[in-house]
Amino acid sequence: MSENKTKPISHRAGDLILAIMETPGMTISATALDDYHAEAGAELIALGALEPVGFEPVTVSQADHDDAMVGVVWDGDAGGYGYFSPAVGMVAVKNQAIGRYRLRPSWLLAWIAEELGLATGVRPVDLVPDRAWDLGDVWLGERKSEKRRTAIYVARRLGETGAMARLRTALQSRAGRPPGVILSSSPAAIADDILPTGMTPMMPILRCATAGVAEFCLDTAIIRTAVHGAWPASSDTPVRVAAEFRVVHVGSREFQFRGDKQRQVIRYLHDAWDRGEGRINTAMMFIDLEFPETTRLRDLFKGHVDWKALIGIENGACWLRYDELLTEKPASAE
């Protein structure tokens, strides 16, 4: 992908991009551009973001004064498009009145990649044809100590029937990637309603826009915080989590988890601890997480040498041993 955004885009252009991304074919009619988005449309055409892709099959009658929709056909004699009017015969239609424009996926992905600081020449991977892409990994964070490797996915029309299921299946093939985010043109309400538990978080692109500037640009700090959380200013915070619960710090101890289901359990128990709920019914937790009824904690954490140091289990209940670990006295040296 060698294309680059050569100039910043306006907020009007950014809003238009997101609106077009949510249409089935990422297209918009020339009439809609002229009537409602003249400046933004002209800006995106000049940048090469929008390209002509044919014509509308219908238009509004210009001869009979009734604003009726009429079918457009090719008029060989006139060498252009037109429609038949009983009153005056064939009526020519200007090409620009019935033209269509498409948002070029290559331009869109190159623009997002540049905004996030991805390496020039990155080649997106199609996850779901014409719906979702993997842009690769980028290090996000201002200072070296804050930088976190982040997987970037781009998706559109996530509210479409079956779209989330197809995306989830595609992401399963990317297992082993660092924590990431799905940047989407879909509104936040879509994710709130149908984003499965434990799936890579979705963030509306509009929510990532930098506030208080003239251009429409993406704020990488917002994305970094959404994926990795705000890094504590002080290491004195007794309980800290990072990288979507891949790392848990309790006092001076650090626990690391790799498997998706392990991290889902840790997140679930952490949220319960944060709410002050104490011990959790293990079977009910598995139901909430949509795990099979036969799931057992010891199987989920098989191979993890010190998981029982962090997770307490007793009489069908489980909990995170944060408070116990923080009040433990260090073993005395012999």
Identity of residue 200:
T
Tokens encoding 220: 């990488």
Whose tokens are 């043109």? That residue is 185
Dist. CA 51–CA 265, nearest whole Å? 47
CB atoms near residue 273 (< 10 Å): 18
Per-residue pLDDT of the chain (334 residues; tens, 9 = 90+): 444 445 789 999 999 999 999 999 999 988 888 889 999 999 999 999 999 887 655 444 555 545 566 566 656 676 666 667 777 777 766 655 567 899 999 999 999 999 999 876 778 999 999 999 999 999 988 776 678 889 999 999 998 988 888 998 999 888 788 889 999 998 877 655 556 656 788 889 988 888 778 899 999 988 988 888 765 444 456 888 887 788 898 988 899 988 889 999 998 999 888 888 889 999 999 998 999 989 999 999 988 888 999 999 999 999 999 988 888 765 544 4
Helix 220-228 to helix 105-116 angle (10° resolution) is 80
Judged by phi (left if over 0) then psi (alpha if -120 to 50, else beta), residue 212 lies in left
Q: Shortest CA distance to 285 belongs to which of 320, 321, 322?
A: 320
Q: Give the pair of three-digit tokens for residue 267.
A: 């997140």
In a 13 Å sphere around the CA of 131, the CA atoms on its Cβ side amount to 18
